[in-house]
Amino acid sequence: MRSKKLKVAKWEIKRNLQNKTFIISTFVTPAIFMFFLLIGSFVGGNDEPEMTEVGSGTTDLEVAVHVAGDEEAVESFQSIAIEEAVVAQYEPFDGDVSELEERASEEAIAYVHIEDPTSATLVVSEEFTNGTMLIRTEVQQLLQSMQLAEVGVEPAERELVLSTTVPIQTISSGEEFAWLEDIIPAAFGGIVLLSIIMTGMMTLNSSMQEKKDKIAETLLSSVSPNQLMQGKILGYFVVGMAQVAVWLLLVIPFAEIFSDFTIIEHLFTPLTLLYLLYAVLGYLLFASMYVALGATMEDASTASNLTGMLMMLPFLPFALIWVFISDPNGIVSIVASYFPFSASAAMIVRIVMLDELPVLEIVISLLVLVVFVWLMMNAAGKVYRTAMLMSGKNVTPGEIIRMIRHKD
């Protein structure tokens, strides 16, 4: 026979997974993410790694390049160029090289200065932007071809030798994505934490609605208040995780296809488990607080100031997130690591930002969280079972304190 806690959890899971609003929000969030990813991919315009090919000989620039220098060499270069050049048009220059040098300082030109058949210089003015590298490679090839012709190599053989090109591919360094190794498990932990804080808030609505719908007493005639409360916490945890699972199932394949990220290989690491542990403890703390707060209210809009402040507590670390990132070893970050309501988020960020795992701090913050989860669940149980039966008014902060102090 299943425990009643599990029955309550199953009911809450079923209700939420059939709830239109929940379904829409579950699918819309990754859809928005994918939309922006797709837009980014189209705007970026290139789904290959950044790569420049040089010397493939397939570009036809039709750029005019003057050839000057040793007369004989220029002539023989020219005869080869007429047959083999594809990148630029090489035009012999009759005047002195110094003239070209002068012009290069004034206008955008390029010229090849051939001193002898084995030595040539490509000179370009600063303003010349027409594929200098390609022209240089072609000039080199033409010079080599010229030399090979001089030693009697036939044009077909020359082509065979010179067509063996080694394209240069400039690929963005793998180091660019090295940060993913640290970020992905933490981002996963952060997403889980955020998602289950949101679903934790749903436990507040659930108890508030049950109180409003006056079904609490019927339920409490079948299950104990603690079973009901724990069933809700468990049920909404599964709902939150299901939401994250849907997001990952939709986003990961999409990101793998349309971007350069390799999420999967960085996702399943021991650190992910640590982040998950922080997220789960954070959830238990917030959800038990929310479920009890929900029982104290008839309506969220009439909540007392204290209740409103308590409701906002789980969002406190998100306001401090930049402090944790910019100064992970600062006093604010360290104090936040030991404050139960910010410990999860603070530690997830700090572990990413710090070079070494602060093992002692991890142990202390986990201990703080475990103790506070236990205390919170006890206090929430006391508040929940009394407040759920108080109808017609919101429970005052004084009454909440009295409920918590009441001995069983």
Residues that bind other proteins (CB under 8 A): 1, 4, 7-8, 11, 15, 213-224, 385, 389, 391, 408
CA distance 284 to 376: 9
Based on CB atoms, which residue is closest to other proteins, 4 or 103?
4
Is residue 170 within 8 A of residue 140, CB to CB? The reply is: no
Based on CB atoms, which residue is closest to other proteins, 173 or 222?
222
Least CB distance to other proteins at residue 214 (A): 3
Based on CB atoms, which residue is closest to other proteins, 216 or 248?
216
Least CB distance to other proteins at residue 4 (A): 6
Least CB distance to other proteins at residue 285 (A): 27
DSSP tag of 297: -
CA distance 281 to 357: 19
Based on CB atoms, which residue is closest to other proteins, 204 or 369?
204
CA distance 127 to 107: 7
CA distance 216 to 385: 10
Based on CB atoms, which residue is closest to other proteins, 8 or 295?
8
Return the structure tokens found at 401. Answer: 């304190």
Least CB distance to other proteins at residue 211 (A): 9
Pairing of strands 119-124, 110-116: antiparallel
Least CB distance to other proteins at residue 228 (A): 9
Closest CA to 65 of 108, 98, 111, 23: 111
Residue 58 CA to chain centroid, in angstroms? 38
- Strand boundaries in 70-131, DSSP class E: 88-92, 110-116, 119-124
Distance from first CA to last CA of the chain, Å, rounded? 28
Based on CB atoms, which residue is closest to other proteins, 172 or 218?
218
Least CB distance to other proteins at residue 47 (A): 45
Based on CB atoms, which residue is closest to other proteins, 15 or 393?
15
Determine the residue type at 274. L
Q: Tokens 């030109």 appear where?
A: 109
Based on CB atoms, which residue is closest to other proteins, 214 or 405?
214
Least CB distance to other proteins at residue 296 (A): 17
CA distance 347 to 343: 6
Residues 6+ apart with CB under 8 A from 289: 310, 313, 314, 376, 380
Least CB distance to other proteins at residue 197 (A): 24
User: What are the beta bridge partners of residue 69?
Assistant: 114
